[in-house]
Structure formats: structure tokens, C-alpha cells
Structure 1
Amino acid sequence: MMKTFTLIFLVFLSFLLPLHAQVSLGLRGGYTVSATQIKNAQGYKSNSLGTNSQLKNLHADLIINVPVYRSFYFQPLVRYITKGAYLRPLPYKPGILVESANQLKLHYLEVPMNFVLKYPLPMGKIVIGAGPYVAYGLGGSYDLDLMYNGSVLSTDSHNIEFNYKDRGIAPGVQLNRFDAGANVAVGIEFNNLMVLGANLSRGYTNIDRTSSARITNSYFSVSLGILFDREDY
């Protein structure tokens, strides 16, 4: 899988290099609110965006603008992002010790591949678009609570390596390194080369590789940054 991801990235770069004269680049960073939805056969279901399970973190982007036709652009990003959530405790059974994951953090190198329309305004351009994304898991961590009769006895932190040696965030659950889904984006490119953007992302890949649960990621982010140049100058 790692070889496949590397091959896709190299093909992506080879496509951009001949277009260097037409392509503009930029950097931006911002604030992320994420959630990880988990549903298993026992009926456990975690919360999603808009609830108190949200994890707040930061992200960083490399922006690439590729003109396609008039106001239509291909605008991929290379994004470092932390996804995850505060997970609800597992249902407890009286008199039995239960291990339940608490805070989950997953670090990804993500490539959203958006197709956007840019509408000119006196102050710059409004940008509206959507597209798929693929993401490669770099690592992560989670807090595991030891619970008895609904009370937390102790909490230990564990690393996630995305391999078969992982203990898993819950009994029988191990995570896949790759994630994929779709996102929508809006933003403004100001005439002074500053950029402001927001996007909503929804994962459709089940990142539980054991099939004992369905686990998906989602997040909302806002970003601020700057373009190094403009492709229309």
C-alpha cells in the first residue's frame, strides 16, 4: 500500500512539473474540528461533528492552483492534519473491568483533490469547489481508560503505528493506515495574495481493518495563508 501511495504521489508531481509556468503555489494553516464515528456490532456508536466529542487541533497546507479552463481550476492540497475525537465510554457491565478508549488522535498526510470555480470580485476571487481526498496515516495515539462499574480507575496512553502489532483502540479493533473520502471547500483569494478558506470533509473508508466495527473520520477546518504568486498574472 505504501508503494501504491508513493507511486500516485510521484505521478501527481510529474503532472505538475510541465505546468510550472501556469501553476501558483501557496502556504496556509489553520484550525480543525474533527470527529471519528465508530459503530460496532454491540450497538456502540460515537458522536459526530457538532457534539462535545469533537477534537480541536491545527493543520498545515501546501496549496497548488492549476488552471484548466477560464475560471475552472484543479486545486489539490498537500495537508498535514490531526483527526480524531473524544470517544464515549463503552457500556459497562456491573462487577467487570472494561477497557475503553478515550481521546483518539490520528496524524495524516492528506491530499484533497478539489476542482474549483473562481469568481472575480473587486477585492479578489471567491473560490468554490469539491473533490475527493486520500490520506496516509503517519501515526497517532489514544488514551485507554480502565473502568469498573462506570468509574475510571486508571488511564494509559498508547501509540498507534497502523500495523498488526497494534493493540487497537478497543478489543478486536485495529486501524487501517489509509483513509479516503470527499470534501467541499469555499474561500477567498485576495488581490494582496492572502487566502482565506474553509472546508468540510467526510471520510467514506472504514479504517477498521478487522471488520469488527465501522470507523470513519470527518472534520471542519478554517485556514489562513498566502500565495507565492498568481497563475493569472
Structure 2
Amino acid sequence: MSKIFTLIFLVFLAFLFPVHAQVSLGLRGGYTLSATQIKNSQGYKSNSIGTSSQLKNLHADLIINVPVYKNLHFQPLVRYITKGAYLRPLPDKSGLLVESANQLKLHYLEVPMNVVFKIPVSIGKIVLGAGPYVAYGLGGSYDLDLLYNGTVLSTESHDVKFNYKDRGIAPGVELSRFDAGANVALGFEFNNLMVLGASLSRGYTNLDRTSSAKITNSYFSLSLGILLNREDY
């Protein structure tokens, strides 16, 4: 997976060089609602976007606009984002101590690679887009509750160690560093260079390398920023 990520990044850079004079850049940041879906063989299933399990955090983007043909553009982002969720407690086992992960935070450098269509209007452009993304895990943390008969006795914070045995969010769960999926985006570019954006992202890569569970990411984001230049000027 690391070789695929490197290859995509190199192709992406090579694509930019011939059209560097037309490329425009921008900076953007905003608010993220994320969820990590977990389903294991015991029937445990975490909640998703739109429920109380959502993790609220921030993200930051470098926007790159590359004209392709008329109103069609290639618009990749370089995004720093925190994904994760508040996880439901594991099923109670009466009379036994149970370890259950609570708050999960995973920090990623993500590259959404969207194809967008820009619709000119009087005050700017409506931006509609979609495409795949790849993400590289930089690190993370989770809170581990010790439960007895449904009561939390203690909580400890642990670092997520990608690709390190038994240091995922539960014993026996090994988290992969790489994530991939797809997203859809809606935005607006004002004539004064301000930009607004919203996106919905869904991961399709199982983050559990042991296959003892299915773990995927999803998030909804709202962004505000500014273009440093315009490719159509």
C-alpha cells in the first residue's frame, strides 16, 4: 500500500509540472464531524455519521486547481485531518472486568483527488466535485475504559501504534496506517477569492490488518478559506 501511495503522489506531481502556469493555489480550514465504524464477529457495531458517536475536530487544506477543459478542473487537496469517534462500550459481562475503547482519534495526511465542475454565476462559481482519496496515518490516541458490571472504574489514554502488534484500539486489533475511499464535494468560489466548501467522505479500506473486525472511517466537513491566485486570471 505504501508503494501505491508513493506512486500516486509522484504521478500527481508529474501532472502538475506541465501546467504550472495555470495552476492556482488556496488555503482552507474548517470543522469536521467524523465517525469510525467498527463491526466484529461478536456482533459489536459502532455508530456512524449523524449519531452521538461523532467526533468533532478541525482540518486544514492546501487547495490545488488545475484546469482540464473549459469548466472542468482537477482539484486535489493536501489535507491534515483528525478522524475517529466516541465508541460505544463493549457488551457487559456480568462479574467480569472488561476493557473497552472510548474516544478514538486518528491523525491523517489525506489527499482527495477530485474532478470538479465549476458553474459561473454573477458573484463567483459553484463548484461540484467527486473523486477518490488516499490517506497516511501520522498517529493517534484512544481512551481505554476499565468496566465492571457496566461501571467505569478507570480510564487510561494510549497512543495508537500503527502496524504494531496488539497496540490497536483493543487487544489483537492491529490498525493499518493507510486509508482510502471516496468523497463528494460542494463549494463556492467568490469573485473576491474567498471559498466555501463542504464534503462527505467514506472510507472503503478495512483498517484492521488482522481481519478480526471491519473498521472504516467516514466524515463530513465544512471549510472556509481563500485562493492565493486564480487560474482563470
**Normalised-by-shorter TM-score class:** over 0.9
**Letter paired with 1:90:** L
Q: Distance in 2 between matches of 1:132 and 1:3?
A: 17
Q: Distance in 2 between matches of 1:124 and 1:166?
A: 51
Q: Distance in 2 between matches of 1:10 and 1:137?
A: 19
**Letter paired with 1:30:** G
CA deviation string 1:28-49 (max 9, x = no partner)? 0000000000000000000000
Match of 1:35 in 2: 35
> What is the correspondence of 1:145-160 to structure 2 with a 5 Å cutoff?
145-160=145-160
Cα RMSD after superposing both structures = 1.0
Q: Distance in 1 between matches of 2:34 and 2:94?
A: 32
CA deviation string 1:130-150 (max 9, x = no partner)? 001000000000000011111
Shift of 1:17: 1.9
Match of 1:51 in 2: 51
CA contact (8 A) 2:35 2:53 kept: yes
Give SS of 1:18's match: helix
CA contact (8 A) 1:160 1:166 kept: no
> What is the correspondence of 1:1-233 to structure 2 with a 5 Å cutoff?
1-233=1-233
Give SS of 1:17's match: helix
Q: Distance in 2 between matches of 1:32 and 1:118?
A: 24
Moved over 4 A (4+): none
Unaligned runs of 5+ in 2: none
Q: Distance in 2 between matches of 1:229 and 1:180?
A: 30
Q: Distance in 2 between matches of 1:229 and 1:13?
A: 19
Give SS of 2:17's match: helix
Give SS of 2:11's match: helix
Q: TM-score, normalised by structure 1?
A: 0.97
User: Number of residue pairs matched?
Assistant: 233
Percent identity between matched residues is: 83
Q: Distance in 1 between matches of 2:75 and 2:56?
A: 25
**Letter paired with 1:32:** T
More deviation, 169-178/140-149: 169-178
Q: Distance in 1 between matches of 2:111 and 2:212?
A: 28
Shift of 1:170: 1.6
Q: Distance in 1 between matches of 2:161 and 2:150?
A: 29
Shift of 1:4: 4.0
**Letter paired with 1:106:** L
Q: TM-score, normalised by structure 2?
A: 0.97
